[in-house]
Amino acid sequence: MHLAAFLFTPGSHSSGWRHPDAIPECDMDFAQYVRIAQAAERGKLDTIFFQDTVAVNGSAALDGVSRFRPKQGRQAYLEPTTLLAALATVTSRIGLIATATTTYNEPYNIARRFASIDHISGGRAGWNLVTSQIEDEAGNFGADHHMQHALRYERAEEFYDVVAGLWDSFEDGALIRDKASGDYIDPAKLHFLDHRGRHFTVRGPLNMARCPQGRPIVSQAGSSDAGMELAARTADLVFTAQSDMSEAQAFAADLKARAARHGRDPAHVKVMPGLMTIIGRTEAEAQQKYEALQRLLDDANAMRLLARLCGDLDIHSLPPDAPLPELPPSNAAKARQRHLMEKAKREDLSIIQVARYLGTSLGHQLLVGTPARIADSMEAWLREGACDGFTLMFPYYPTPLEDFVALVVPELQRRGLFRTEYRGHTLREHLGIPVPPNRFAAD
Amino acid sequence: MHLAAFLFTPGSHSSGWRHPDAIPECDMDFAQYVRIAQAAERGKLDTIFFQDTVAVNGSAALDGVSRFRPKQGRQAYLEPTTLLAALATVTSRIGLIATATTTYNEPYNIARRFASIDHISGGRAGWNLVTSQIEDEAGNFGADHHMQHALRYERAEEFYDVVAGLWDSFEDGALIRDKASGDYIDPAKLHFLDHRGRHFTVRGPLNMARCPQGRPIVSQAGSSDAGMELAARTADLVFTAQSDMSEAQAFAADLKARAARHGRDPAHVKVMPGLMTIIGRTEAEAQQKYEALQRLLDDANAMRLLARLCGDLDIHSLPPDAPLPELPPSNAAKARQRHLMEKAKREDLSIIQVARYLGTSLGHQLLVGTPARIADSMEAWLREGACDGFTLMFPYYPTPLEDFVALVVPELQRRGLFRTEYRGHTLREHLGIPVPPNRFAAD
């Protein structure tokens, strides 16, 4: 089983930061990030994982001061690539993944930064490739709206090709640095990319020796058809959002079949749905903890999370106890819309119930119970082919992560489902995904 | 006196990496960067400083494999912003400056990364704002050539305005994180930029609390008229390249007068010309060290450095012993062309002698001598108003930097010219430059 810790400061629960144990200052305080990353490494997790948005959430929606949401927690946080680099020096084994959007970056710059983190960390870097979905971002990059979904994915496909190609610029051993002859480099081992596409023209080479991992790990979270195709062709890890086992089984089977069609070994594409756990030493304690958290939930905040996924439909104009209607097509996350509609139908949820589900776990699976009960469910998902592991989400930081490491990890280890020590040093080794060959290297 | 260490791995001397003491692996090996940064901090230097180019140097000049220069050292190195973030955790006081180009980045992304480094380092970050000069870079960003010099500077001016404006998005104290009321943020202290200019349209706010330094330090190295105007209006530090004291005095006086015309305190704009030192315990030992280095110099490499500054003139077609001719207008570094022509005229230098000067110290001042003699010259420059300090350059790493710290720093300290301990914790405090007010804050 593979485990990632999703570090979405100050918490994945929209009001979790108000919990008495929460340290919401973890959004901007590097020392708190160190504490969290080291706890995850103590738990022998495969990797930590930072989401990213290049805007203050909600800033595009309205005009003037009222655009800000005083009760919304995730307003500011450290920039993930600089944060990963800094965390590389205070950890030694755990993987380091961060999101960077293909919509508002240049591939040369992204290829360099993740390669640099891979060198600094000794082979632990990962790039979570996304397309920008949240409209707030467009206004920070000269646009009123994002380019359309299909075009965003077309750009993302090409962006990946350029980045992966640049990562092969130097073959291993290209830098010879021979003081006697004065030869610094072996020109036969340094390669131009000369990419010319619709979105990018990039000559290369990248000014960076080949990475310890060959290439950093690439992860993806898209679950639309375009997103799954991109993931099947390019991703090593797939973060996804199924809260129902049969839905997850279907997703994993579909994704792995697509990977095989792209000529890849499906075992080298790891599917890791999100999972939030509320852990008690007894079921009653877990339930109590859950209820205490839910009392903090702000319905207005939760409704705004839902509204962002509703396109042109003004969800606030409908009675909150009405069933969730069919959501109109939107340029935002298509797969998340579908997931919510299916879940609402399956569980007969009203609008406000769906909003609260989003507000609690960002729409991911929630397990409330004892370590044994949580491990039972995780084990079943793994054994039934619903996933290769989980992306762990936490309502706030740092104690829920520390609880998972102290209580659930040992239970998984006892069952032989999870490592008791790191065996390798790189993220690829943790995941069991081999170093890719350099496309330019002679056999 | 202020001192910066210019870390241009594997060395600022074009063949310095071949010296027996050189560790050219410092270009890609993070552990070597740690050793270098910690040596600079042991010397109580104000800051370390990383140059950057978003290309392999020389890659645009020719076709195919022959484009690569096997004997050229600076082919690959860690990406500076991720490197700064990582070095922040293994140092505690020294400033951390890196170059990022305004030509091939987006201001929102740059504002975030340097602000993030400022938070991670507790107020030690600096951004060296440049426009791209080296044509090799254009091909990695969809262009055959850079935009013209004047347009690059126009973009740089606007880029700075956007970045500085975004850094004021949050006032101090905007993040209240009040668990009782549920108010995370004080909306009155969070500000939109709503910038609409020729090159950029950026709404803001930046998703980042205000920096420990208010804003990171901004440095600049342009010495053309456009470059000096930009520096006079925006820069806290100016890295420059005068090797003649009267030339340096004229530059400093001109720049500070321009700063005053922009309504700034000229004492808050620090002028720090480059300086390479070759240090011996005796004059003879220093001269010996210098000659040993010069025996390594590769004339073909040195000529290529010169050729890059010659625009359409094919410098290789002229006899190397001929005097340096008038260089034709070029889209590259205009001020460096002028500096070379003036130096060649003043010192009656031939083409190959100018090339060797570039190959030795990248066209910066070179002092060869005992610590006392070097300190004499540095003291004279400081006392005569030629500078506020120096940007120290090293032919290779790490021993020349370690020698400077062990031999010249104590001599400067004995003379009362340089600090014996850090007094402040931030780069602004080291430089004596106050925290700027937030433009949006009410008085």
Domains contained in chain A, number: 1
For B240-283, the pLDDT digits (tens) are: 988 889 999 999 999 999 999 999 999 999 999 999 999 999 99
Radius of gyration of chain B, Cα coordinates, nearest whole angstrom: 22
Specify the DSSP element, H or E, that contains A246: helix A245-261
pLDDT of residue A203: 93
Residue A309 lies in a domain: no
> Chain A interface, mutation test: which of B116, B162, B211, most A Cβ atoms within 10 Å?
B116
**Host domain of residue A68:** 2-294+365-431
Q: Where are the beta strands (DSSP E) in B92-162?
A: 95-101, 125-130
Q: Are strands A195-196 and A201-202 parallel, antiparallel or unpaired?
A: antiparallel
Give the residue-averaged pLDDT of A272-282. 97
End-to-end CA distance of chain B: 34
Work out the angle at residue A221's Cα, subtended by the Cα atoms of residues A218 and A223, and round it to the nearest 5 degrees: 130
For B378-408, the pLDDT digits (tens) are: 999 999 999 999 999 999 999 999 999 999 9
Please tell me the distance in Å from B283's CA to the nearest CA on chain A: 27
Interface A–B counts its CB contacts (< 8 A) at: 240
Residue for token pair 């944060």: A83
Distance of alpha carbon B110 from alpha carbon B159, whole angstroms: 10
Coil, strand or helix at B49: strand
Distance of alpha carbon B339 from alpha carbon A169, whole angstroms: 35
> Chain B interface, mutation test: which of A67, A105, A109, most B Cβ atoms within 10 Å?
A109
Distance of alpha carbon B91 from alpha carbon A18, whole angstroms: 34
Distance of alpha carbon A193 from alpha carbon A213, whole angstroms: 20
> Chain A interface, mutation test: which of B79, B81, B192, B206, most A Cβ atoms within 10 Å?
B79
Q: Where are the beta strands (DSSP E) in B241-345?
A: 270-279
pTM over 0.90: yes
Which residues of chain B make contact with A442, given a CB cutoff of 8 A? none
- The CATH number of residue B21's host domain is 3.20.20.30
Asked if residues B89 and B30 have their Cβ atoms less than 8 Å apart, the reply is no
pLDDT of residue A310: 86
The 8-class DSSP code of residue B433 comes to: -
Residue B442 lies in a domain: no
pLDDT of residue B331: 65
Q: Give alpha helix (H) positions in B262-297.
A: 283-296
Please tell me the distance in Å from B85's CA to the nearest CA on chain A: 5
C-alpha distances in angstroms, B105 versus B84, B307, B328, B403?
A: 18, 27, 29, 37
pLDDT at residue B62 is higher than 60: no
pLDDT of residue A265: 98
Which residues of chain B make contact with A56, given a CB cutoff of 8 A? 169, 190, 205-207
For A61-104, the pLDDT digits (tens) are: 544 445 567 788 889 999 999 999 999 999 999 999 999 999 99
Give the residue-averaged pLDDT of A111-138. 94
pLDDT at residue A29 is higher than 60: yes
pLDDT of residue B343: 87
Q: Which of A315, A305, A204, A221 is nearest to A271 (CA)?
A: A221
Give the residue-averaged pLDDT of A373-394. 98
> What is the rounded average pLDDT for all residues in chain A?
93
For B287-324, the pLDDT digits (tens) are: 999 999 999 998 988 898 898 888 788 899 999 999 99
pLDDT of residue A317: 92
Residue B395 lies in a domain: yes
Residue B242 lies in a domain: yes
C-alpha distances in angstroms, A196 versus A163, A204, B37, B132, B316?
A: 13, 11, 40, 22, 32
Give the residue-averaged pLDDT of A250-262. 97
| Pairwise CB contact (< 8 Å): B115 & A79 | yes
pLDDT of residue A65: 45
Distance of alpha carbon A439 from alpha carbon B289, whole angstroms: 44
Percent of chain B topping pLDDT 90: 79
pLDDT of residue B311: 79
Coil, strand or helix at A365: strand
Token pair, residue A268, equals 């080298």
Residue B30 lies in a domain: yes
For A177-233, the pLDDT digits (tens) are: 999 999 999 989 999 999 999 999 999 999 999 999 999 999 998 788 989 999 999
Distance of alpha carbon A216 from alpha carbon A214, whole angstroms: 7
Q: Are strands B183-185 and B175-178 parallel, antiparallel or unpaired?
A: antiparallel
| Pairwise CB contact (< 8 Å): B104 & A105 | no
Residue B441 lies in a domain: no
Residue B320 lies in a domain: no
Task: Answer whether B108 touches A (CB < 8 Å).
Answer: yes
Token pair, residue A430, equals 């943790």
Residue A324 lies in a domain: no
